[in-house]
């Protein structure tokens, strides 16, 4: 769905990801999400299942950020399934560009995502990009924290 995309910025590039990115994605997930990191089979799935969006940001010759999108065209909704940027590459606009590219590739009128209630940095990012809270899932995470569901109309 996104193999041919390439967006070049001054200090990073966004392009489609694939199965060869599995080791780098696994590392990135563990660094970014710790105990919330996806298991191996979910990572394989996001890299290979048809109709999903998978984009990586590349800097200094390696994957330093990733976004996965899960379009549900029948409902007109695309979910941002995961987004993460390595700590040393944060606060340079990479997540904004990964998010924008994923939203565009899904091409659906509504975009949704879930986020930990305490994840203030991510919440600030999403609010800045036009997302608004529409729901909450009580005790969604393994440690009992609630998820907030945010939505954006494109
Ligand atoms: C959340 C995350 C993806 C943001 O990545 P990023 O590339 O640093 O984000 P950007 O540089 O595009 O941020 C854009 C804006 O969002 C806001 N923002 C992003 N991270 C922030 C933080 N930690 N604290 C406060 N504001 C933040 C700021 O307004 C920022 O603009 P500014 O740097 O000019 O102030 C990254 O911190 C990350 O991978 N975190 C761990 C995984 C995670 O929580 N993912 C989201 C799960 S839902």
* Helix axes of 22-33 and 40-48: crossing angle, nearest 10 degrees: 120
Angle at 39 between CA 72 and CA 100, to 5 degrees: 40
Q: Is 86 in the pocket of ligand 1 (CB under 6 A)?
A: no
Nearest to 94 by CA among 44, 57, 146: 57
Average pLDDT across the chain, whole number: 96
pTM > 0.95: yes or no: yes
Q: How confident is the model at residue 1 (pLDDT cuts 50, 70, 90)?
A: low
Q: Is 94 in the pocket of ligand 1 (CB under 6 A)?
A: yes
Q: What is the pLDDT of residues 38-74, one digit of tens each?
A: 999 999 999 999 999 999 999 999 999 999 999 999 9
* Cα–Cα distance for residue pair 55/63, rounded to 1 Å: 10
Q: Please give the average per-residue pLDDT across 87-116, as a whole number.
A: 98
How far does the centroid of ligand 1 lie from the alpha carbon of residue 94, in Å?
Answer: 8
Whose Cα sits closest to atom 16 in ligand 1?
125
Q: What is the pLDDT of residues 134-151, one digit of tens each?
A: 999 999 999 999 999 999
Q: Is 78 in the pocket of ligand 1 (CB under 6 A)?
A: no
Q: Bridge-partner residues for 135, per DSSP?
A: 149
pLDDT at residue 4, as a whole number: 73
Q: Is 67 in the pocket of ligand 1 (CB under 6 A)?
A: no
Per CATH, the number for 6-110 is 3.40.630.30
């Amino acid at each position: 769905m996104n193999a041919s995309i390439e967006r070049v910025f001054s200090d990073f590039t966004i392009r489609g990801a694939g199965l060869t990115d599995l080791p780098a994605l696994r590392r990135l997930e563990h660094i970014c999400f710790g105990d919330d990191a996806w298991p191996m089979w979910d990572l394989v799935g996001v890299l290979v299942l048809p109709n999903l969006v998978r984009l990586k940001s590349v800097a200094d010759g390696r994957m330093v950020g990733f976004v996965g999108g899960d379009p549900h065209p029948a409902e007109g909704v695309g979910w941002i399934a995961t987004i993460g940027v390595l700590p040393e590459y944060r606060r340079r606009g990479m997540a904004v560009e990964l998010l924008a590219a994923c939203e565009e590739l899904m091409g659906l009128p509504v975009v949704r995502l879930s986020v930990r209630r305490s994840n203030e940095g991510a919440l600030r990012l999403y609010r800045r990009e036009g997302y608004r809270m529409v729901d909450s899932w009580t005790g969604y995470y393994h440690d009992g924290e609630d998820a907030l569901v945010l939505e954006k109309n494109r």
